[in-house]
Structure 1
Amino acid sequence: MSKLAAFGGTAVVPREMRRVEWPRVEDDDRKAVMDALDGALVSDTDGVNPVAVLENSWADHFGFGHCVAVSNGTAALSLALAALGVGPGDEVIVPALSFIATGLAPVHQMAVPVFADIDPVTFNIDPDDIERRITDKTAAIIPVHLHGAPADMDRITAIAARHGIPVIEDAAQAPGATHRGRPVGGIGTAGAFSLQVSKNIPTCGEGGLLVTGDAELAAAMRRGRQFGEVIESGRDRDYISYGLGWNHKMNGLQAAFTTAQLARFDEYERARQHNVTTFLARLAKLPGLQVPTALPDTTHVWHILRFRFDPAAFGLDGVRPEALRSTLRRLLRAEGVPMSQYQLMPLPDQKVFVDRLGFGSGYPWSVTGAPATVAGEGYPVTRAVIADSLTIQKRHLNPGAGELLDLYADAFEKVWANSDMVATLAKAASS
């Protein structure tokens, strides 16, 4: 049995292999950005510009009816809600486990986020809990395709249809994921993507995209991204705001970079699917370890890999999940596997929601009379997942990461082979 690196043994992953480039910046990306410098740098320019090219390329590639490029994924969610008329007095159901932007987007519209618990396997919003939380104030549902795993869109859209509620898909982490053969983002009323530099299809910084099959909704989103104005090719700009708008435009350099990345996405995705599924197949054999998975007839795009650890299945009855998690984090990181926590608390425990730090005087919560959120209460599945899980991020997105993932699997197997030491450390941490 090999000695653990945490106690003086040789780490499985050599130091020179631990730094992995993501995104991969190729000559095509550099050329696209340089070419864009000689053209239109903003989206309100008449004629062909890099932003319009990205919008058309994204819609064509994934099969969306309309695509609207914006400044970031958070702006995309807020604009979708605004275009649907969500505002003061409304509630929007969101998952209790997600990035903060999902919960903040309704507040930006003076609407109240209502949190629902998640599924323990996919980590996506639980349709049963959605149904329990619908009221006459519910104006939208935002399912998140967390970590690249499609949410249960069949059930979610069926619930929404029964109640006449629009569905905005937060697909920030899931470009290319599919549910029953349909691309996520294009199943509900609208979909929002992030192009932030860490995403599966990135830009050179920040960016976002909105998609929809509804032409009128797309037009409302376009007005919203630029001061409420109507910007159309061949139409002189009149500088009239036809409704409330913001300055949420994307610039041409960001658009050109993403278009170049999009051209390589299918190649990258094939490599990622092979690398990640091979890696997970090895880890699935280890006792007490739940590997990421997806619903049947869906495509998971593995943006983040979340692993759950079960003390009882590990032979550690009575040990707190947090103790086993912290022990494994220490041992695996020493071997060169960058295990980390992602989301340190459920969204409803975030200070902005607990203390109602919105627009002053308790707005928007005071409009609906929503009961106060109490930190540490409710959402048992979300709390359990946060307590017993760790993630791997970014490194596996590089299509050349197969060899590295093999070493990660070797490291997991080495730690599991030292189960007596794991047990000793976890029990000490749990006491």
Structure 2
Amino acid sequence: MSRLAMLGGSRTVDARAVRTSVAWPVVTDAERDAVAGVLDGGLFTSNDGGKGAVSRLQEEWAQYVGTRHCAAVSNGTAALALSLAALDLEPGSEVLVPALTFIGTAIPVVQRMLVPVFVDVDPVTYTMDPALAEAAITPRTRAIIVVHLHGLPADMAALRAVADRHGLALIEDAAQAQGATYRGTRAGALADIGTTSLNVVKNLPTCGEGGLITTDDPDLYERIVLGRQFGEDLRAGTERDYLSRVLAGNEKLSGVQAAFTRAQLTRLDEYTAAREANVTAFLARLRALPGITVPQCPPDRTHAWHILRLRFSPEALGRPDISPGALRSALRRALRAEGVPMQQYQVLPLPGQPAFQELTGYHGYPWRIPGASPADYRVEDYPVTLAVIEDSLTLQRWHLNPAAGPVLQRCADAFDKVWNNLDVVLGIAAGSRAEVNA
């Protein structure tokens, strides 16, 4: 039996040797030529008269997703903020947000002086639980932001039904789910408004930051476009008049970023298919190991596989005396020593973040607005999120490159090696030197 790397054995995966095959994003001559075309053509911003890279990206993304309209903006957080602004919700209104997500989903809510109400997630999909969402609705609730976490679309039929029963707007945060589908419809076309991020680490990246907003509603689209640059109407075919029709900031996307993403978009389906094959082969090997729960994909949807979350059970390994957190910590140490970059994704339920516990940054608003719900965020109210965080680790980015299949198989070899030495790892988790040295 091979000795674990953390105890002096050789590494299973040489991170330096595999760096090229897992690099992300994949930059080709197509991206270089697209960026050079913007530099040579001079149409650098969204004010391109319908002829530049930003306008072309908007057209192509709307067609790809299957919506009537798309507005390109500066980043995914801005996309959510502009979507909420377009809904024109009264300050102090409540917006439902999943408890397990990146803080970028909730910050736009606060920026619009709206109160985030956090909802626990489903233990299998890690997306908002529709029944708990309905239970969280109050007379002040006005919208639901649904996150397709890790690349798996949420149960949109159930959430749509909840929103319709209560007259709520439904917004998608599809930042991790580009290319995924739910019952044949792409993420971004499953709600009143769809948003996504083009951050360089996303499945559909740009060379920095960017965001896209999609909708079928022409009125919402008009308000989103007005909010993108100082309330000015800068749509194709209009001459700039410098009239600010609404109070708004500046959230434009550059032509260079749009050009880069357009080149990536031509390969999105190809990369998605390759990732599906690579990831499912990797997970099939891990599924055979005891004590691991691998991500699931219900038959009515497809997974973009942006992040791979693995859960570990001491009970399934015959050690109920070991806490899930201790096992997770020991496995992280062992796997990282073998060269597999396992890490946590979120270390607290979102409402447990210091910013929401201490309400720093906005002088206590929006919670101080008369009639608004108080900030009473208790992490114990989100038991599923707590359990998922406590017993899981994630693999990020390495699997995004379509050529990463062999590297993932080496990572599976590392899991096999760790599981062949599981008595040592369990000893570390239990804090028993005798078991470690056995």
TM-score if structure 1 supplies the norm length? Answer: 0.97
Matched, 1:424 2:424: no
Equivalent in the alignment of 2:25:
23
1:389-421 CA-to-partner distances (Å, cap 9, x unmatched) read 100000100000000000011111111111211
Whether the 8 Å CA contact 2:67–2:189 is kept in 1: the answer is yes
Whether the 8 Å CA contact 1:81–1:106 is kept in 2: the answer is yes
Matched, 1:173 2:176: yes
Displacement after TM superposition at 1:18 (Å): 4.1
Return the match for 1:252 from 252, 255, 259.
Answer: 255
Equivalent in the alignment of 2:241:
238
Displacement after TM superposition at 1:246 (Å): 1.4
Partner Cα distance (1:257, 1:429) in 2: 53
Matched, 1:81 2:47: no
Equivalent in the alignment of 1:163:
166
Matched, 1:202 2:208: no
Whether the 8 Å CA contact 2:144–2:171 is kept in 1: the answer is yes
Whether the 8 Å CA contact 2:48–2:55 is kept in 1: the answer is no
Equivalent in the alignment of 2:412:
409
Return the match for 2:39 from 23, 37, 50.
Answer: 37
1:91-170 correspondence to structure 2 within 5 Å? 91-170=94-173
Whether the 8 Å CA contact 1:353–1:373 is kept in 2: the answer is no
Partner Cα distance (2:18, 2:308) in 1: 17
| Larger CA deviation: 16-25 vs 150-159 | 16-25
Inter-CA distance 35–313: structure 2 relative to 1 (3 Å threshold): same
1:40-63 CA-to-partner distances (Å, cap 9, x unmatched) read 001113240110000111111222
Partner Cα distance (1:87, 1:203) in 2: 34
Displacement after TM superposition at 1:12 (Å): 1.1
Partner Cα distance (2:283, 2:352) in 1: 31
Whether the 8 Å CA contact 1:107–1:358 is kept in 2: the answer is no
Equivalent in the alignment of 2:266:
263
The code of the aligned residue for 2:290 comes to: P
Displacement after TM superposition at 1:422 (Å): 1.5
SS at match of 1:386: helix
Partner Cα distance (1:375, 1:244) in 2: 35
Matched, 1:339 2:361: no
Displacement after TM superposition at 1:162 (Å): 0.5
Equivalent in the alignment of 2:367:
365
Equivalent in the alignment of 2:436:
none
Whether the 8 Å CA contact 1:275–1:401 is kept in 2: the answer is yes
Inter-CA distance 269–219: structure 2 relative to 1 (3 Å threshold): same
- Ranges in structure 2 where 5+ consecutive residues have no aligned partner: 434-438
The code of the aligned residue for 2:129 comes to: D
SS at match of 2:251: coil
Matched, 1:4 2:7: no
The number of residue pairs the alignment matches comes to 429
Partner Cα distance (2:157, 2:361) in 1: 33
Whether the 8 Å CA contact 1:17–1:404 is kept in 2: the answer is no
Displacement after TM superposition at 1:103 (Å): 1.0
Displacement after TM superposition at 1:64 (Å): 2.0
Partner Cα distance (1:370, 1:277) in 2: 44
Displacement after TM superposition at 1:374 (Å): 4.3
| Larger CA deviation: 235-244 vs 143-152 | 235-244
Partner Cα distance (1:429, 1:59) in 2: 57
Whether the 8 Å CA contact 1:70–1:76 is kept in 2: the answer is yes
Displacement after TM superposition at 1:358 (Å): 4.4
Whether the 8 Å CA contact 2:65–2:187 is kept in 1: the answer is no
Partner Cα distance (1:96, 1:235) in 2: 42
The code of the aligned residue for 1:114 comes to: V
Equivalent in the alignment of 1:225:
228
SS at match of 1:377: helix
Partner Cα distance (2:12, 2:164) in 1: 52
Partner Cα distance (1:146, 1:376) in 2: 19
Partner Cα distance (1:135, 1:303) in 2: 33
Matched, 1:396 2:399: yes
Partner Cα distance (1:133, 1:14) in 2: 47
Whether the 8 Å CA contact 1:87–1:109 is kept in 2: the answer is no
Partner Cα distance (1:222, 1:372) in 2: 32
The code of the aligned residue for 1:2 comes to: S
Displacement after TM superposition at 1:152 (Å): 0.6
| Larger CA deviation: 263-272 vs 189-198 | 263-272
Inter-CA distance 275–286: structure 2 relative to 1 (3 Å threshold): same
SS at match of 1:229: coil
- Ranges in structure 1 where 5+ consecutive residues have no aligned partner: none
Partner Cα distance (1:41, 1:316) in 2: 60
Q: What is the CA RMSD across the aligned residues, in angstroms?
A: 1.3
1:257-299 CA-to-partner distances (Å, cap 9, x unmatched) read 0000001111111111100011111111111101111222100
Displacement after TM superposition at 1:372 (Å): 2.9
Partner Cα distance (1:323, 1:18) in 2: 30
The code of the aligned residue for 1:398 comes to: N
Partner Cα distance (1:425, 1:373) in 2: 38
Whether the 8 Å CA contact 1:91–1:114 is kept in 2: the answer is yes
Equivalent in the alignment of 2:185:
182
1:299-351 CA-to-partner distances (Å, cap 9, x unmatched) read 00100001111110011112111100000000001111110111111110112
Whether the 8 Å CA contact 1:73–1:194 is kept in 2: the answer is yes
SS at match of 1:413: helix
Displacement after TM superposition at 1:115 (Å): 0.2
